[in-house]
Chains A and B, each alone.
Chain A
């Protein structure tokens, strides 16, 4: 194969890191569930961790989809 798609895949991983960082810093970090229902700070952090881990799973699924789309021909060979 031409190594081009591998570079595109690495670049896509980099963009996903930047996007993930943006979501964590601007949305998840400052958000407080305690403001709505008076949650314990530890529980608040626990929910954020669960959301962050869910985001990691979503990212892995996105990467898998990109991988399958980009390397379909190579993987079948």
Chain B
């Protein structure tokens, strides 16, 4: 137990300070090379550095390798390789505008290391009622899981700080759930993701100095999905992600198809006092942000705070689900 506490503390410190200390250098590097995009919701339309994915993946790799030094497990290697492949997919999407099909298909291939290493348990565990063994079907689930978590986190990357803040809260809840279930190694792996996202949030929060880009958010999503599979907590991971899943569900049920985010109409409008309000355009998708601002326009910071409170709520539900895993009727 002492070893696990030392590993948890060390991995958290490494994860946080790796991203926290080197991201300012990346911001300067990107700004110098004019790798910036306009933040349309900001007064004056400030130019913001993008993408920040490179240091998110460096933070994930270094912290997970520190964990590997404590607990040499194939599960941790599977997380690192899956995350690295997702970063490659994201950086391609950052550099070139790819079709709506590209990310789901490419992310499906990122799940292959998990299958090759056999870093999964082919059963689905549900709270209270037990588990079902689905050896063949589970392979399909692994392949679908990474694109789903990757694109789900990507879909909430709409406002300053939301993707990183949300990932930090959801992975912290997943970590707490894994501790409850006494799966300590993967709990620490999830804690690393939480601290990487938290350190990045420091620069991503409103007003953003850097955007994660597809390379950053896909690393967040794919790492989260890989932890859910190797930690055998797929259902709990889905519960912690419910606000983002809700956002994807609302979007898909209103659009009726998968489209690249650059092709969709904006579900919100910017008022003269720089508050976001719900659009009246019937062709625009319904999203969680559109619902939040439907009553009255809000600032970007206020909307982010509402989403974080929702993330905390679903995080609590995830931990309750973890406790229910131990209950059998």
The residue on A at minimum CB distance from B294 is A74
B291 with A71: CB separation less than 8 A:
yes
Q: Is A49 an interface residue (CB 8 A)?
A: yes
B245 with A21: CB separation less than 8 A:
no
Contacts of A28 in B (CB 8 A): 132
Give the dominant DSSP class at A's interface: helix
The residue on A at minimum CB distance from B130 is A25
Q: Is B264 an interface residue (CB 8 A)?
A: no
A24 with B132: CB separation less than 8 A:
yes
A13 with B309: CB separation less than 8 A:
no
Q: Is B26 an interface residue (CB 8 A)?
A: no
Contacts of B286 in A (CB 8 A): 71, 75
A13 with B310: CB separation less than 8 A:
no
Size bin of chain B's contact surface: 35 or more
Q: What distance in Å separates the Cβ of B198 from its nearest Cβ neighbour in chain A?
A: 22
With A1-B294, A22-B129, A75-B286 known as contacts, the answer to whether A10 contacts B235 (CB < 8 A) is no
Q: Is B137 an interface residue (CB 8 A)?
A: yes
Q: Mark B289-316, 1 if CB is under 8 A from A, else 0.
A: 0111011000000000010011001100
B306 with A25: CB separation less than 8 A:
no
Which A1-36 residues have a C-beta within 8 angstroms of B? 1-3, 5-7, 9-11, 13-14, 17-18, 21-22, 24-26, 28-29
Q: What distance in Å separates the Cβ of B114 from its nearest Cβ neighbour in chain A?
A: 21
Which B147-194 residues have a C-beta within 8 angstroms of A? none
Q: Please report B residues at the A interface, Cβ cutoff 8 Å.
A: 124, 126-132, 136-137, 235, 238-239, 242-243, 245-246, 249-250, 253, 278, 280, 286, 288, 290-292, 294-295, 306, 309-310, 313-314, 317, 321, 324
Q: Choose from B136, B239, B243, B278 the contact partner of A17 (Cβ within 8 Å).
A: B239
Contacts of B306 in A (CB 8 A): 3
Question: How many of chain A's residues have a CB under 8 angstroms from any CB in B?
Answer: 31
With A9-B246, A45-B136 known as contacts, the answer to whether A3 contacts B292 (CB < 8 A) is yes
B246 with A10: CB separation less than 8 A:
yes
Contacts of B131 in A (CB 8 A): 25
Contacts of B243 in A (CB 8 A): 6, 10
A25 with B246: CB separation less than 8 A:
no
Q: What distance in Å separates the Cβ of A43 from its nearest Cβ neighbour in chain B?
A: 13
A64 with B126: CB separation less than 8 A:
no
Q: Choose from A10, A24, A64 the contact partner of B310 (Cβ within 8 Å).
A: A10
Q: Choose from A1, A17, A45 the contact partner of B238 (Cβ within 8 Å).
A: A17
With A3-B309, A11-B317, A64-B253 known as contacts, the answer to whether A18 contacts B127 (CB < 8 A) is yes
Contacts of B292 in A (CB 8 A): 1, 3, 6
